Amino acid sequence: EPEVTQTPSHQVTQMGQEVILRCVPISNHLYFYWYRQILGQKVEFLVSFYNNEISEKSEIFDDQFSVERPDGSNFTLKIRSTKLEDSAMYFCASHVLAGGPNGELFFGEGSRLTVL
């Protein structure tokens, strides 16, 4: 069964450092998402991406965050200068067609980011 894959599974970084989290969505999917989950808390929407541009973003997704689909397969989340409060599990998700009959998102296993 096709799946969304994420790397790294865990990254530890110093505050102020740049971090790039990588995702390979399911190959025929068209919409891509990043969500995050601070330990023990709810899953929060960060950003959605379609046709090589951001379609929606949350208040969390400020200027420190960016997304890119550099080569047609990878989908990356970059945090420019990490803060302690960026420590969380980051989930990538993909979806075939927005608003289509198959509404579910397919999630990766997550990348745990720890900022020291």
Partner 1 sequence: AQSVAQPEDQVNVAEGNPLTVKCTYSVSGNPYLFWYVQYPNRGLQFLLKYITGDNLVKGSYGFEAEFNKSQTSFHLKKPSALVSDSALYFCAVRDIDNTDKLIFGTGTRLQVFP
Question: Given the complex with partner 1, which of 18 and 56 has the nearer CB atom?
Answer: 56
Which residue among 91, 94, 113, 115 contacts partner 1 (CB under 8 A)?
91
Q: How far apart are CA 54 and CA 8, in angstroms?
A: 23
Q: Is residue 99 involved in binding partner 1 (CB under 8 A)?
A: yes
Q: Is residue 98 involved in binding partner 1 (CB under 8 A)?
A: yes
Instruction: Kindly tell me the burial class for residue 70, based on how many C-beta atoms sit within 10 Å of its own C-beta (0-12, 13-18, 19 or more).
Output: exposed
Which residue among 25, 77, 110, 115 contacts partner 1 (CB under 8 A)?
110
Between 37 and 56, how does the x/- string for binding to partner 1 read (CB under 8 A)? ----xxxxx--x-x----xx
Long-range contact set of residues 56-60: C-beta below 8 Å, sequence gap at least 24: 60/36
Residues lying near partner 1 in the complex (CB under 8 A) are found at 4, 31, 33, 35, 41-45, 48, 50, 55-56, 91, 93, 95, 98-99, 101, 103-110
